[in-house]
Amino acid sequence: MSINEHLTEFAGLPVVEFLSPEIEGERLLNAQYRARRAGQPIPDRLEPDERYAAALAAPDTAAWRLRVVVDAEEPFGQHLARFLAEVDTAKVTALIVGCWGESYEDTAQEPRDLLIAQADRFPALRSLFLGEFVMEEAEISWIRQTDVTPLLAAFPRLEEFVVRGGSGLEFPAIRHGALRRLTVQTGGLPRGPVAGITASELPALEHLELWFGVEDYGGTTTVDDLAPLLAGERFPALRSLGLRNSPWGDDLVRALAGAPVLERVRVLDLSGNVLTDAGGEVLATAPAFRTLDRLVIRYHFLTEAMEERLRAALPGVDLHLSERQEPEVYKDRTYYYPEVTE
């Protein structure tokens, strides 16, 4: 998932944005900009959106995005109320909650509580994304989150939950019998939510993805905090694990090398970590990584020679290596930064 652009697909469905006058104004400006760049006639209005009309007619064929434009006349609560009035939400299976206001003023508590109050209007909801701000709306570290577990309690049939933003994020230990996919994207992940997640009872969980970030943006999680997860006693259905964008990637792979959790995980995503040749050597030599079906390492600090060593050492693994980085050197000091830090 990219944090620079709005999703075009979620939960296997095309994303359709619930419109407001401000969003339609944005769309017109974007269409005018594209026409100007292409040397085409500049439109003064938008043509009817057939895809939008089709989604209104069959709400289960789209993942719906709700968001407001900052300083718009329509606040998030009013936007949601119109959505409930204009869309047959009993058929909505996937919902994205994007920008709900000024990131430095407004927290996720209001949209969370509004959704909980209307939970009975979404009986078919199976996938939910809370906090899909893109970079032009807010840096990932500016998004002010809240305790998100009441949402899971309000939607006991939810199968996929994505939350973006670590500031103020809380995730006390819970039990949820249906959740299959959990993704937490942050520029700095506090250890509290990690402790809650790893202590939760999620018997159906197949995919877990955590973005750790850095201490400057609230990232207090360490490799030691992952011990309950790596021990492999939690999440019996877990098959896909993403441990991403940490500054301690080499220590992470050392911990994973002897971790019982890899006995059941088939897909491992280590993208965005500060992973150097020291960690690469562990990946190349530890037997635990040879049993994976797929290993993804996008954005890393491995040398080209280490990339080749990994390909030779893991012939039976579907290995995805991309976006090699170079460390920054300043005044004879070398600095390594994970992918998402702001």
Residue 71: per-residue pLDDT: 75
Cβ neighbors of 251 (< 8 A, separation 6 or more) are 223
pLDDT tens-place values along the chain, 342 residues long? 568 899 999 999 999 999 888 888 887 888 788 888 899 888 877 676 899 999 999 999 999 999 998 877 889 999 999 999 999 999 999 999 999 998 777 899 999 999 999 999 999 999 999 999 999 899 999 999 999 999 999 999 999 999 999 999 999 999 999 999 999 999 999 999 999 999 999 999 999 999 999 999 999 999 999 999 999 999 999 999 999 999 999 999 999 999 999 999 999 999 999 999 999 999 999 999 999 999 999 999 999 999 999 999 999 999 999 999 999 999 989 999 999 866
Residue 154: per-residue pLDDT: 98
Q: Which own/partner pairs from 50-56 qualify as long-range (CB within 8 Å, at least 24 positions apart)?
A: 51/14, 51/16, 52/16, 52/19, 55/16, 56/86, 56/87
Helix (H, G, I), strand (E, B) or coil at 67: coil
Q: Give φ, ψ of 331 to 5 degrees.
A: 50, 50
Buried b (16+ CB within 10 A) or exposed e, 137-168: bbbbbbbbbbbbbbbbebbeebbbbbbbbbbe
The packing angle between helices 277-285 and 304-313, to 10°, is 10
Q: How far apart are CA 242 and CA 264, in angstroms?
A: 14
Q: Do 110 and 76 meet the contact criterion of CB atoms below 8 Å apart?
A: yes
How deeply is 104 buried, as exposed, middle or buried, from its count of CB atoms within 10 A (0-12, 13-18, 19+)? exposed
Q: Give φ, ψ of 81 to 5 degrees.
A: -60, -40
Closest by Cα among 138, 200, 136 to 164: 138
Q: Give φ, ψ of 264 to 5 degrees.
A: -115, -20
Closest by Cα among 254, 244, 317 to 281: 254
